[in-house]
Amino acid sequence: MGKKALLLVDVQNDFCTGGNLAVPNGEEIVPVINKLMADGGYDLIAASLDWHPKDHGSFVSQHPGKKVFETGELSGQPQIIWPDHCVQGTKGAEFHPDLDKEKIDYIQPKGTDKTVDSYSAFRDNMQDRLTGLAEYLQEQGITELHICGLATDVCVKFSVLDAAELLPGVKIVFVEDASRGLSEEAVNTAKQEISAAGIDIKQSAELLPEKPRPAICPRPPKQRKFGR
């Protein structure tokens, strides 16, 4: 019998309100994810963490004269310049404090090599090196994988697309309301790419088992009163 897993992508402080690379209303997904973890019937829950060295080559601090979100270069390839974020060992790299971390079975760090960025939880942006997550999920016998987190249009999208490619035979589902993106336009574009790859887009409520309705006890029939 197949197994079902949930993958949480980068639900970290730096991607939530007040963080160095905040996704608008990113923290709103935390209670949705907590409910999925509690009631979704998952055999395994995995989570990725952006886990950068402090001198990561995608950081604006490493590109004098550049501004955030401009295009620079990293290892000879075009690179979006990001605010310094999710630095190893900092509060910004920690999971959001309201996330029910006790339910997470496996944590996959990514972006640990300063010479290449890693949006996907499965491999780096050069597509040269795998993180090991795909192999782990295959070893666990996973046949269905639900993916959500931050941000829809960057790390979540690339994780979803890579999962479909690297996990043949596994049903991949993108959980839309358990994810947030940097802009509405970018999210819509990401959803189009995900759909074009033949990947299902679902809402969390569609993935939760229906609760049985309480039985309605019929009222006892009224008893006729007879006089003496």
Cβ–Cβ under 8 Å, residues 43 and 57: no
Task: State the SS3 of the chain.
Answer: CCEEEEEEECCEHHHCCCCCCCCCCHHHHHHHHHHHHHHCCCCEEEEEEECECCCCCCEHHHCCCCCCCCEEEECCEEEECECCCCECCCHHHCECCCCCHHHCCEEEEECCCCCCCCCCCCECCCCCCECCHHHHHHHCCEEEEEEEEECHHHHHHHHHHHHHHHCCCCEEEEEHHHCECCCHHHHHHHHHHHHHCCCEEECHHHHCCCCCCCCCCCCCCCCCCCCC
- Catalytic residue flag (residue 171): no
- Catalytic residue flag (residue 155): yes
102/110 Cα distance (integer angstroms): 20
Choose the catalytic residue: 155, 157, 162, 191: 155
Amino acid at 161: L
Choose the catalytic residue: 14, 110, 148, 191: 110
- Catalytic residue flag (residue 110): yes
Task: State the SS3 of 94-125.
Answer: CECCCCCHHHCCEEEEECCCCCCCCCCCCECC
Residues identified as active-site: 10, 110, 155
